Structure 1
Amino acid sequence: MKSREEYATIRAKEAANKAFYAREDGVAAAPHTVCLSVNTNCFMRCRMCDIGTANAAKGAPGEPRLFSGRYSRPGRQREFPLERVLELVDELAPHGPTIKTNFVEPLLWSGLERLARYAKSRGLQFYTITNGWTLARHAGWIADTGVDLVRVSIDGPPEVHDRLRGVPGSHARAVAGLKALVAAKKTLGTERPILGVCCTVSDHNCRHLLPMLRGLREEGLLAHCYVNINHLQYTTAWEAEQSREQSPLLAHASPCSLDGVDLAAIDVPALAEQAARIAREFPAGEYNVYFSPRLEAGDLAAYYDPKAWMFPGTPCYLPWYAAQLDMDGNVGVYGHCVLPGFGSILDAGERGGWRGFMDVWNSERAREVRLALKRAGSFAACNRCIGTLYPLRGRD
């Protein structure tokens, strides 16, 4: 399936970028993927997400979280300036990265179609991620534009998904959106976009993964979609505290993705059994269902043990691979990455206009952060990030 080819292409790009890790100056090649936070508009109340739990709290005071503070702030809804994004595409076009809109709900951003069309006109791949609520109404232009990949969040069978997301009818809307895209692709006779379903494991759905897949099969979607079942990426209080002690660069580290999740309620044996049953019922030769990271029995128990540190000091190469921009134009590394940003592309440049992306990507601050990470290998708050779980990636 095309998703496997896409995965192999990304791994090849990472191998090329990794060559820069050996440099002593912290300089990196242009990232193979540039992710954009294009708005602050998310109405879901997902229990495994800091933004969702903040939405559910309706502004009640609480400890600030790195994830929600970075991508979704209270008050008037904001959008990333479209003019700057289009100029960014021009800057990046010679380097050929994939452009991905991943926060907060891209299909609610007014500039999405224009950005997608422009990125494709400049020869770049374009991905987007969505909760699926408005996907059906966008299906026509997405298929017509040649968007390369659309990933939709589905976190269980209908009743589980809707309860977890706090919005009744959200499962039905996501499924309808996927079906609309399948139909639009058939009408146009195109293989793009690749369609994906993303599920995040938590205590709310850890016993319902197999029913979710069976439901998607009954809807006729598994013939058209890959499914990524992602283990919850979380940061505990001790990991955040130890990271703050490890480096002044991590003074802002905080717990992540735990306000609405009870780790003790995650049934690890049941989760392992479901993974085994999924492998038998949805074999790789017939279906495209992946766990990320791919954890085996011992790793699975450690992963959901809040006291365990799986691979202390394991090298992380993500700051040499991928970039994430937040709403202030700050260039960082990865959606959940604890590392600080490198600078903003919304700042004024030395010669007028905006500060260039590559100037920020290899700024003095960027090189300082990369070299600090290289010396440490990784930090405590990196414990369950895919960047430090590369020892498990060879199983894929």
Structure 2
Amino acid sequence: MNLLTAARRIVGKLAGKVKRRLHAGLDGSPAVPAYFELELAPDCNLRCGHCGQWQRPPDPRALTPARWEGIVDEIAAWAGSCHLALACGEPLTSPALFPIVARAQRAGIAVTLVTNGSLLGAPEARRLREAGTRNIIVSLDGTRAETHDRGRGVPGTHARVLRALEHLAAEGLSPRTQLHTVVAGHNLGELEGLALLARNRGLAGIRFQALRAQGDGWRPLWPEDPAAVDQAVDGLLRLRSGGAPILNPRAQLEAMKGYFRDKARTFPGLSCRSAMTLVVGTGGQVRCCRFMEPIGDARFATLREVWNSPLARARLDEVRGCHASCVLMNCHYPPD
């Protein structure tokens, strides 16, 4: 990062904080979001049992690369320095990916790429470094190929992910790379090994996410034995106490024990970060929670207009009162 970019990021971060406070305080409207997510890619090259993204038909309304770049400009002008995730589908299939990362980085926005890793070769790793990607999240569900590939639905994926980690390491990106692992019945015995893999490869860490009971493919992957879940979680807690780079809060790991006994449980004491988030879908649909109905359309309105609309205010109230496990159990669980 050069000095000009660093200065822009510092100024943008301060401006973003001021905007969020003033905007919320003067007119009572929702605060400027702190988190944005762009679903650049409608497609995914894998067939994961826990995700139905690959089963969805192509969206004829898919936004053009030029519109995606315009959205990044809107975010930079409105929210200042914020967090931007490129996720859902497989972002590496989108021609807009690298221009978006570079554009956001120049504006002082911290970009996180969420990828299954199977398409990340040496050229892609180099371009991610050159574009200034802040964080890279790679999915890895097992230490053994048969374990990972079973959940991801495509043979050979495990080997490609391990090669992707090597390519990222060659570009000096290991300290910016996290592993994300779906905790399911077929990989309980390999979770500790994955935490050690993250440590031994010098990665930023590993985050474990409980399998969501969503779509059609989760049932064969659901843990049948709650005691086995307890044993696996206790092993992670021991490693975490010993300094392994497990990014989950301790309370979140403990909560997984109860979740796998009762997947309908709620978390009334927690608040969902979706109330601080805007998600833009491939066709322009804007949501604050990806599991709720859209609050607007980026093809016909700016993100600021959508966020400040009466529909958005009503939806934000709904989100603040929601304590379901869908994202609270995983991405939005509060830190210790």
Is TM > 0.5 for Structure 1 vs Structure 2?
Answer: yes
Contact 1:207–1:271 (CA under 8 A) maintained in structure 2: no
TM-superposition CA deviations, 1:47-103 (whole Å, max 9, x none):
122235x4xxxxxxxxxxxxxxxxxx3257885311111111221113222221102
State the Cα distance separating 1:113 from its structure 2 match: 0.9
**How far apart in 2 are the matches of 1:307 and 1:138?**
38
CA 1:209–1:21: 2 relative to 1, 3 Å: farther
The answer as to 2:208 corresponding to 1:229 is yes
**How far apart in 2 are the matches of 1:263 and 1:305?**
14
Contact 1:149–1:194 (CA under 8 A) maintained in structure 2: yes
Q: 1:198 aligns with which of 163, 180, 192?
A: 180
Q: How many residues matched? A: 317
Matches within 5 A, 1:245-284: 256-257=214-215, 259-262=217-220, 265-281=223-239, 283=241
Counterpart of 1:92 in 2: which secondary structure? helix
Q: 2:64 aligns with which of 69, 78, 81?
A: 81
Contact 2:209–2:329 (CA under 8 A) maintained in structure 1: no
The answer as to 2:90 corresponding to 1:148 is no
Amino acid at match of 1:147: T
Counterpart of 2:171 in 1: which secondary structure? helix
Contact 2:86–2:114 (CA under 8 A) maintained in structure 1: yes
Contact 1:35–1:324 (CA under 8 A) maintained in structure 2: yes
Q: 1:385 aligns with which of 307, 327, 331?
A: 327
Stretch of structure 1 that moved more, 156-165 or 270-279: 270-279
Q: Which residue of 1 aligns with 2:276?
A: 321
Counterpart of 1:271 in 2: which secondary structure? helix
**How far apart in 2 are the matches of 1:98 and 1:38?**
16
Q: TM-score, normalised by structure 1?
A: 0.70
State the Cα distance separating 1:373 from its structure 2 match: 4.2
Q: 1:51 aligns with which of 50, 53, 57?
A: 53
Unaligned runs of 5+ in 2: 1-12
Q: 1:34 aligns with which of 23, 26, 36?
A: 36
* Percent identity of equivalent pairs: 23
Contact 2:59–2:283 (CA under 8 A) maintained in structure 1: no
Q: Which residue of 1 aligns with 2:4?
A: none
**How far apart in 2 are the matches of 1:165 and 1:206?**
16
Q: 2:256 aligns with which of 300, 311, 332?
A: 300
Amino acid at match of 2:256: L
**How far apart in 2 are the matches of 1:230 and 1:283?**
19
Amino acid at match of 2:113: T
**How far apart in 2 are the matches of 1:118 and 1:203?**
41
CA 1:40–1:307: 2 relative to 1, 3 Å: closer
TM-superposition CA deviations, 1:195-247 (whole Å, max 9, x none):
01000112222232123334555xx42x233100111233xxxxxxxxxxxxx
Amino acid at match of 1:109: S
State the Cα distance separating 1:264 from its structure 2 match: 6.1
Contact 1:329–1:346 (CA under 8 A) maintained in structure 2: yes
Contact 2:210–2:329 (CA under 8 A) maintained in structure 1: no
Stretch of structure 1 that moved more, 176-185 or 302-311: 302-311
**How far apart in 1 are the matches of 2:232 and 2:284?**
41
Q: TM-score, normalised by structure 2?
A: 0.81
Amino acid at match of 1:155: D
TM-superposition CA deviations, 1:348-383 (whole Å, max 9, x none):
xxxxxxx21100111121012123444xx226xx23
Contact 2:198–2:206 (CA under 8 A) maintained in structure 1: no
Contact 2:212–2:218 (CA under 8 A) maintained in structure 1: no
The answer as to 2:307 corresponding to 1:361 is yes
Contact 2:272–2:322 (CA under 8 A) maintained in structure 1: no
State the Cα distance separating 1:24 from its structure 2 match: 9.7
Amino acid at match of 1:86: E
Unaligned runs of 5+ in 1: 1-9, 55-72, 186-190, 235-255, 348-354
State the Cα distance separating 1:388 from its structure 2 match: 10
State the Cα distance separating 1:346 from its structure 2 match: 0.6
Contact 1:317–1:387 (CA under 8 A) maintained in structure 2: no
Amino acid at match of 1:33: Y
Q: Which residue of 2 aligns with 1:125?
A: 110
The answer as to 2:142 corresponding to 1:159 is no
Q: CA RMSD in A?
A: 3.3
**How far apart in 2 are the matches of 1:125 and 1:325?**
17
**How far apart in 2 are the matches of 1:362 and 1:131?**
34
Matches within 5 A, 1:182-221: 182-185=169-172, 194-215=176-197, 220-221=200-201
Counterpart of 1:227 in 2: which secondary structure? strand
CA 1:91–1:265: 2 relative to 1, 3 Å: closer
**How far apart in 2 are the matches of 1:389 and 1:106?**
18
Contact 1:206–1:267 (CA under 8 A) maintained in structure 2: no
State the Cα distance separating 1:272 from its structure 2 match: 2.2
Q: Which residue of 2 aligns with 1:173?
A: 160
